[in-house]
Amino acid sequence: MTAAQRVLLRPITMGLLLQSLFLLILFLLGSCLHPAAAFPKGCYPSEEEGLKTFRCSNAQLTEVPRDIPNDTNKLYLDFNQIPFLPRDAFRDLPLLLELDLSHNAIARVESGTFQGLAEHLHSLDLSSNRLVSVSKDTFSNLKAKVNLSNNPWLCDCRLQELIRAVELAADSLGGIVCDSSTQEEHVGKAFLQVIADTDFCNVYKRTTDIAMLVTMFGWFAMVISYLVYYVRQNQEDARRHLEYLKSLPSKQRRSEESSTISTVV
């Protein structure tokens, strides 16, 4: 190959090398950005204080997003419009330490929602939602400190059982307020203050016991009334029959009286 040919081929070779390098860079960028493309708009992974974090704050979500990285340690779903939490919503996040669900529209939490989080989760924020009543079984075996403040709670035995079943975050103790109550005088008061003087579960039990006693007394009174009516009715029939016998001739009357007395006895 002549020197002239080598000079002509050099730009072509350099162009091919640059094109290959450009395609390689595009491939690498595409590989790095591909996982983020699966995330909902407004959600992104990061690392904070050495912990893998996934943020979806104020992302206009209406449900718990899927495909959250399963090595996530901190998950922020606050300031969205999530209305309820389904069963096993977080089962694929075994390393989750903190879960922030505050400032949503959550009105219902299904049993088993937090299944699989009992071992590691230490902070759960459900404040500023629309929770009225939640079963204590929803938080079964959960060791996390839970924030339940600023919800429109119905203060009753169910809430009392829930409060006793979870460990409340210290800064949320005064924020659990009776929006409604089985006893009207408690509305607007902090629930922990109310249960210091009122045992909702015992009040419910006493009410149930009284209702059962009233029902049993009602049935007993009906039985007694029927027995009294039955005896009086038979006595009246026997009296009329005896008066009829008195009007009969003496021989026939004695025979009928013996029969009547035997029947009555």
Sign of CA dihedral 58, 61, 63, 66: negative
* Domain termination residue (choose one: 197, 217, 252): 197
Task: Please tell me the total count of domains within the chain.
Answer: 2
Model confidence over 11-44: pLDDT tens digits?
555 555 555 555 555 444 444 444 444 788 899 9
Main-chain phi, psi angles of 191, to 5 degrees: -65, -40
- Residue 136: partners with Cβ closer than 8 Å, 6 or more residues away: 158, 161, 162, 164, 165, 166
**Structure confidence at residue 232 (pLDDT):** 65
CA dihedral 147, 150, 152, 154 (to 10 degrees): 50
What is the chain's mean pLDDT, rounded? 79
Structure tokens at 236: 């009246």
Confidence of residue 8 (pLDDT cuts 50, 70, 90): very low
On whether both 208 and 187 belong to a single domain, the answer is: no
Structural contact between residues 238 and 264, judged by C-beta atoms closer than 8 angstroms:
yes
101 by Cβ neighbours in 10 Å (0-12 / 13-18 / 19+) ranks as buried
**pLDDT tens track for 47-105:** 999 999 999 999 999 999 988 999 999 999 999 999 999 999 999 999 999 999 999 99
Do 210 and 192 share a structural domain? Answer: no
Please give the order of strands across the beta sheet that includes 98-100.
Answer: 44-48, 51-55, 74-76, 98-100, 123-125, 145-147, 167-168
Matching residue, tokens 């003087």: 197
Domain-embedded: residue 90: yes
- 74: domain range? 39-197
User: Do 219 and 145 belong to one domain?
Assistant: no
pTM (global) more than 0.75 = no
Q: Are residues 105 and 225 in the same domain?
A: no
pLDDT at position 43: 95
Domain match, 60 and 185 both: yes
